[in-house]
């Protein structure tokens, strides 16, 4: 298909979205990422049954933490799509990029931004 | 186990607002099992505090340790070489931990990151319920293995009150009436007459009402 998605997105492959831990999401934010999202399989289609559901709960936990810290919970997100949906992957990448661009850079990098 | 809940982040951030270098100490005992103060949660809290402070432009140095337990001096001793290097120390153990630490290291300040809530167990993954009130005089065998001291809102020993309706307690629809459960179990067992024994007023001497408690096992004391 040779589809292209925004180049600012850094893809980290994991065997299952259930492998993504709260700490992975937090460390990305801590190290200055403007946003983090998980692209997991469709709900009900997890090869390991509940990996993507666990990932969603972890994303929700981090959203709550960000809210408690006065940061935008929208900086982390969970998306579900199948491995065959290349165009949807691109759509999500663009959607997330636009959302983060609207929110602005991470407040943790304010010094760099200035 | 002892069950606890993490304090709100704002409260923890307020405790350390004047500090630039802290240590967070977790506990591998009860608080690890109830997912609130083990190595994993120490890591999460450390990361969250660093995010919060970095956001405010005052980065925080956080080190992490998790002790086998914080209710035994031999484990508390394991941090003796490092504990005074910090502006303050956060303990993620139950209320016992920061007290043992404070006593062992009088020159350091220790802060609790969790609220110790009750003695209980996990009824399902992620949900814990109170089962014991630590009254010092166990009576569960009279009540079909259920404790009316811990699980009845009024700690009644001689049957339910008028607030029991549809198996629920009047304080909340989410709280089971333990007396409803006790009576149903005794009926199912055909042992309802067990409950005809009137239980006299309980002595609370062995509970907190008798003052702080202490257990001495002479065969172990050295």
* Same domain assignment for residues B68 and B112: yes
**B9–A68 CB contact, under 8 Å:** yes
* Same domain assignment for residues B113 and B138: no
* Same domain assignment for residues B6 and B113: yes
Residues of A in contact with B48 (CB under 8 A): 26, 65, 69
The whole-number pLDDT of residue B208 equals 87
Helix axis angle, A51-68 relative to A22-30, nearest 10°?
Answer: 40
Mean pLDDT value across residues A67-88: 96
- Reported as a pLDDT band with limits 50, 70 and 90, residue A1 is confident
The whole-number pLDDT of residue A114 equals 54
Token pair of B58, please? 């005052």
By residue range, what is the domain housing residue B140?
Answer: 133-199
Residues of A in contact with B9 (CB under 8 A): 65, 68-69
* Same domain assignment for residues B113 and B39: yes
Token pair of A102, please? 């609207």
Q: Residue B11's domain is classified under what CATH number?
A: 3.40.50.2300
Q: Chain B closest CA to A32's CA: distance in Å? A: 9
Token pair of B35, please? 């997912």
CA separation for the pair A90, A81 (Å, rounded):
11
Residues of A in contact with B47 (CB under 8 A): 23, 26-27, 30
* Same domain assignment for residues B106 and B148: no
* Same domain assignment for residues B104 and B143: no
Average pLDDT of chain A to the nearest whole number: 95
Which residue stretches of chain B have pLDDT < 70? none
The whole-number pLDDT of residue A112 equals 67
Q: Chain A closest CA to B41's CA: distance in Å? A: 9
pLDDT tens for each residue of B64-123: 999 999 999 999 999 999 999 999 999 999 999 999 999 999 999 999 999 999 999 999
Q: Is residue B49 part of a domain?
A: yes
Q: Is residue B170 part of a domain?
A: yes
Nearest by CB: B55 against A22, A26, A69 = A69
The total number of structural domains in chain B stands at: 2
Q: How many CA atoms lie within 13 A of A10 on its CB side?
A: 6
The whole-number pLDDT of residue B210 equals 87
- Residues of chain B with pLDDT > 70, as a percent, come to 100
Q: Is residue B212 part of a domain?
A: no
Q: Which of A35, A57, A61, A65 is the best mutation test for B, with the most CBs of B within 10 A?
A: A65
For A107, name the nearest residue in chain B, comparing CA atoms only. Answer: B55
List all residues of chain B from 158 to 187 with a beta carbon under 8 Å from chain A: none
Q: Which of A35, A66, A68 is the best mutation test for B, with the most CBs of B within 10 A?
A: A68
**A30–B55 CB contact, under 8 Å:** no
Mean pLDDT value across residues A67-77: 97
Bridge-based pairing state of the strands B114-124 and B88-91: unpaired
* Same domain assignment for residues B102 and B151: no
């Amino acid at each position: 298909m040779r589809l292209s998605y925004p180049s600012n997105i850094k893809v980290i492959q994991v065997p299952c979205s259930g492998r993504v831990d709260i700490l992975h999401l937090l460390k990305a934010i801590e190290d200055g990422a403007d946003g983090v999202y998980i692209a997991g399989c469709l709900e009900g289609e997890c090869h390991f049954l509940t990996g993507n559901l666990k990932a969603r709960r972890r994303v929700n936990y981090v959203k709550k933490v960000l809210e408690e810290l006065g940061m935008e919970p929208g900086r982390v997100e969970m998306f579900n799509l199948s491995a065959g949906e290349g165009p949807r992957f691109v759509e999500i990448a663009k959607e997330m990029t636009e959302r983060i661009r609207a929110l602005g850079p991470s407040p943790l990098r304010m010094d760099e931004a200035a | 186990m002892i069950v606890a809940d993490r304090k709100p982040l704002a409260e923890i951030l307020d405790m350390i607002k004047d500090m630039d270098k802290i240590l967070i100490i977790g506990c591998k005992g009860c608080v690890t099992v109830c997912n609130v103060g083990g190595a994993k949660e120490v890591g999460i809290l450390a990361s969250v505090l660093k995010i919060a402070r970095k956001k405010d432009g005052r980065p925080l140095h956080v080190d992490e340790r998790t002790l086998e337990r914080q209710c035994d001096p031999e484990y508390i001793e394991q941090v003796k070489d490092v504990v005074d290097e910090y502006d303050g120390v956060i303990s993620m153990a139950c209320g016992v931990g920061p007290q043992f630490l404070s006593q062992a290291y009088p020159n350091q300040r220790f802060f609790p990151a969790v609220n110790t809530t009750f003695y209980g167990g996990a009824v399902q993954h992620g949900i814990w319920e109170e089962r014991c009130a630590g009254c010092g005089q166990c009576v569960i065998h009279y009540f079909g293995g259920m404790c009316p001291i811990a699980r009845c809102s009024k700690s009644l020993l001689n049957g339910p009150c008028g607030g029991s309706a549809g198996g629920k307690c009047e304080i909340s629809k989410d709280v089971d009436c333990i007396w409803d459960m006790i009576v149903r179990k005794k009926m199912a067992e055909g042992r309802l007459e067990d409950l005809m024994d009137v239980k006299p007023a309980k002595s609370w001497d062995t509970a907190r009402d008798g003052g702080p408690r202490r257990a001495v096992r002479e065969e172990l004391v050295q």
